[in-house]
Structure 1
Amino acid sequence: MRPGSALEFLRAEVRRIEGKDRRLSSVLPFGLSELDSRLPGGGLALGALHEIAGGGNGAIDGAAAALFSAGIAARTKGKVLWCITRPDLFAPAIEQAGLASDRVIYLEAGDDKTILACMEEGLRHGGLGAVIGEVARLSMTASRRLQLAAEGTGSIGIAVRRWRRQTEAADFGQPTAAVTRWRVSVLPSTALPVPGVGRHRWLVELIRARAGESADFELEACDDSGCLALPAELVHRSATQESWRRGASG
């Protein structure tokens, strides 16, 4: 066996023993090639921890981050454990993002330490589709524990970052063990040809993706099945650009 082949064989054996091949091949696609192509395996890794925050410190962007998380959880199977410190989660809005109320188990705790402990127990349980926890601070040690718990069962963990004070927001820049880190900001709604409010739009920023690329996307918010969409004018623009490329290459 050649040295290079032997090295690849050993790496494959290590991945097999650690279970990484299984975990990385198990993903939850968004169903949008623009997003999925930026993520290893073509989707959001299951058996992993992900971080999501609002683009600003206000309630509106914070609500968008929660709805983005709900859309992800809606596309998993099984019950969803949602750990909160404040009883201000609006269940009808969560349901509009695809996450039915009868799938959600709400757990209210007094502080971040308790939230993190409950998240870890939920992830280790193994029978939940997703475990979501709203926390202000997330240390490397705490995030590693959550990541290991998620890896052990294949459940998806989501840390929704919420801050009571402006000074706490700086913690979001600190490194964690999360596989991806996202930021969601509200944009003007889709224009309608008649009076009314169109489908909500978000600026979704993929700030960090392990073994992937950072990117940002202008998207229409989750529908009642938890799915995002590319705005119609951006779809048309992409199709026009692709036609131009094919014409130029011919």
Structure 2
Amino acid sequence: MTGCSARTQCLESLRAQVARVAAVTRTADALPFGLAALDERLQDHGLSRGALHDLAPAAPCLADDAATTLFTAGVVARLAQQGGSVLWAVSRFDLYGPGLEQAGLAPDRVIFVEARDDTMVLAAMEDALRHGTLAAVVGEVRRAGMTATRRLQLAAAETGTPALLFRRWRKAGQCPLAEPSAAVTRWRVGCAPSLPGAAGLTRARWSVELARQRGGDPFSIIVEACDAQGRLALPAAAVDRAAAPERAAARAA
């Protein structure tokens, strides 16, 4: 073997080792949803911690707005359960505390900030991210340009604190995610038809769409709403369909 070939093989081996270490690091720095149908399709096998994530209701209606709020609350609730508080900044305080608690986000884990406008919300988010002691930072805005989101992404990456930017609809016909963003992932959340049953006894269903992720493909999935620990679930029908091949294989064996 020539010296040149040996060096080439050595470099290839080092690159492979670096790639494996990077993959493990990304996974360790992500919050898994606990659903293979979600986690296996995410580039980091979960929601990256040191990153900005955009979320928006699928349609400009109260039901989708509430679904997105609860989806967000479930994510940060699971982060807060691992230690730390959550800062949630708004310019219009219309959050329903008992609803957030039902999604796992306890009142004593949340620091609410009511700012004057979107600019102040974004500033509060950046300051909180750079502080580096919070479990997560959430902000609700109607407008956030590329410069603002780039600053949030950098601040999140520096401290490893996840930032979730809830983008509210400004007017019908213009999706909030149409605005460019430096976010690592961009999500749309809306209501989906639930199974028929007694009112209040069936678990709500959401349509969750990953509209964009850095380094990965978009996808959509139907899930059941957060439980009291902020955890999502697959609808029973989807679980049964996934398990059917395994049961058939077991019977054949």
Q: Residue type matched to 2:100 in 1? A: I
Alpha-carbon shift at residue 111 of structure 1 (Å): 1.2
What TM-score does the superposition give when structure 2 sets the normalisation length? 0.87
Q: Is the 8 A contact 1:189 1:197 kept in 2?
A: no
**1:174 counterpart = 2:179:** yes
- In structure 1, the gaps of 5 or more residues are none
Alpha-carbon shift at residue 102 of structure 1 (Å): 0.8
Which portions of structure 1, spanning 4 or more consecutive aligned residues, are displaced by more than 6 angstroms?
A: 10-14
Alpha-carbon distance change, 171 to 74 in structure 1, aligned in 2, over 3 angstroms: closer
**Equivalent position of 2:39 in the other structure:** 36
- Write the deviation string for residues 59-118 of structure 1: whole angstroms up to 9, x where unpaired: 210111111000000011310000001111111101100000111111011211111111
Identity percentage over the alignment? 47
- Write the deviation string for residues 146-193 of structure 1: whole angstroms up to 9, x where unpaired: 0110011111100001124336x345223311111110011223333x
Alpha-carbon distance change, 157 to 232 in structure 1, aligned in 2, over 3 angstroms: same
- In structure 2, the gaps of 5 or more residues are 1-5
Give the alignment of 1:63-102 within 5 angstroms. 63-76=66-79, 77-102=83-108
Q: Residue type matched to 1:52 in 2? A: L
**Equivalent position of 2:125 in the other structure:** 119
Question: What is the distance in 2 between the residues matched to 1:49 and 1:162?
Answer: 16
Is the partner of 2:44 in helix, strand or coil?
helix
**Equivalent position of 1:191 in the other structure:** 196
Q: Is the 8 A contact 2:50 2:162 kept in 1?
A: yes
Alpha-carbon shift at residue 8 of structure 1 (Å): 7.1
Looking at CA atoms only, which structure, 1 or 2, has the larger radius of gyration?
Answer: 2
Question: What is the distance in 2 between the residues matched to 1:234 and 1:107?
Answer: 39
Alpha-carbon shift at residue 20 of structure 1 (Å): 9.5
Q: How many residues align?
A: 244
Alpha-carbon distance change, 227 to 152 in structure 1, aligned in 2, over 3 angstroms: same
Alpha-carbon distance change, 226 to 196 in structure 1, aligned in 2, over 3 angstroms: closer
Q: Is the 8 A contact 2:168 2:176 kept in 1?
A: no
Q: Name which of structure 1's ranges 210-219 and 73-82 shifts more when overlaid on structure 2.
A: 210-219
Q: Residue type matched to 2:195 in 1? A: T
Q: Residue type matched to 2:231 in 1? A: C
Q: Out of 136, 145, 155, which is 2:142 matched to?
A: 136
What TM-score does the superposition give when structure 1 sets the normalisation length? 0.87
RMSD value over aligned CA atoms? Answer: 2.6
Alpha-carbon shift at residue 5 of structure 1 (Å): 4.4
Q: Out of 49, 54, 62, which is 1:51 matched to?
A: 54
Question: What is the distance in 1 between the residues matched to 2:102 and 2:128?
Answer: 24
**Equivalent position of 2:116 in the other structure:** 110
**Equivalent position of 2:208 in the other structure:** 204
Q: Is the 8 A contact 2:27 2:46 kept in 1?
A: no
Alpha-carbon shift at residue 13 of structure 1 (Å): 7.5
Q: Residue type matched to 2:235 in 1? A: P
**Equivalent position of 1:153 in the other structure:** 159
Question: What is the distance in 2 between the residues matched to 1:68 and 1:142?
Answer: 23
